[in-house]
Structure 1
Amino acid sequence: MKETIVNNTILALEKLKSTEKFSSEEWENRGLNSSEKSLCITLENSFNDLLTNLISANNTKKSDKEIENIFERHFKEIKSDELDTEEKEFVLDYFAEIATILNIRSINEKLNFWTYGIEAYDHEEVERKASEKILAEEKKRHEILSILCQKCKVQLETFILERDNEIPTFEFDIIKCIKCSELNILDKGCGIKRYRFLNYELIEELSKEEYDLPKALQRLEQLKMRIKATE
């Protein structure tokens, strides 16, 4: 089973590597004009180097931690302050796609910090910068779904990057506040094609084919009780 997962991971990485990730067509698909050719070449080479190293690491059965370190090293080599907002989002989407292939949830937090210009996690600093500048700017550009953590009352925010009204609502999300670790339930609703989140991490997705809201809330309480039992 594990061998199959590794093989599927390698195939997905090789497929992404074989595509021209920063071609004019890809920029057009995002409704944007292509950036300078030199930048596109630099980004293309950088991602191909990352993908080559990840493919090699999976082939040689490196540990998850070693693979994550490779990802982070390349991630930190990107000079985000030299990219405009659209370029940064484009790059982040590819990092997020690779993280999904690798199944590294923890990297999502680092992606969010990079998005909002925060180098190291400090919750008070996150709140201050978000309220004063960063989130204010993002709110002008993106729709934001926000709920309060039931325990610490911090804003758990979902940035809607792209909508498609034909996409139905599939699931309830059980999410964990990164400030206090409290579990909360989130219903993003329908029509969401791409999104990024801040101040929480995804724990479990509950299909609406199996769960209505009462059942989802019951599952939430089960997980909370399980956590308490291990404390």
Structure 2
Amino acid sequence: MTPNRPRCPLCNGETKKNGTTSKGSIRWRCKDCGSTFTRRRTDQTRARDFARFHTYVTGTAPLTDIARQAGVSRWTLDRRFASFWLIDVPNTPDPNRVYDQIFIDGTYTDAGCLLVAASFDHVIAWHWAKGESAHAYTQLLRGIAEPLCVVLDGGQGAYSAIKACWPNTVIQRCLVHAQRVIRRYTTARPRTDAGKAIYALALKLTTITNLDQAREWTLHLHD
């Protein structure tokens, strides 16, 4: 029996070709029981559907457009994607890899708060929690080696977890979050001269790239 000639799925008997279906697939007939069947490559079908699922979740195209490209309805494609949402993505960071800088933050969704630790180019680890508490951030950080520097939004929960898990790590406040805090007090269109000066300094925070610019910014802040 050659690998290209399958066994009968009912009696495991030998088979022979028995024409084709209306779609062009080869029909096989069992020599013993007489049953006919077609050979399906479910692995190729799943791989094709998962490629479309990956395009959907990582892109901006709506499900309707992807379904149109696949030649099916959006409800059919949604049914095919149902099992892919349950795939458990590996979340085991290398405990021996030391990063120069790590960014941590929380994002709130309908399912809860997703805490994420990332480097410049990839996500290191994540943890689902009810909120950005010290305990939740501890669960996120405990499997990661102590980095040289960590950037956070300024929340007390993250700060406490870093001090407990990474006592020697330098803590850097996220400059974008610092800008947002200042804008909250001055608004985007401050009316007073002091508010305009402080907000202008806040906007320059994210343009600093070297020590000379940082020194000049600090002098302007003192002035």
Determine if the TM-score, normalized by the shorter chain, exceeds 0.5: no
Larger Rg: 2
TM-score normalised by the chain length of structure 2:
0.29
- Structure 1 length normalisation: TM-score? 0.29
Q: Comparing both chains, which one has the higher relative contact order based on Cα–Cα distances under 8 Å and sequence gaps of 6 or more? A: 1
The structure where helix makes up a greater share of residues is 1
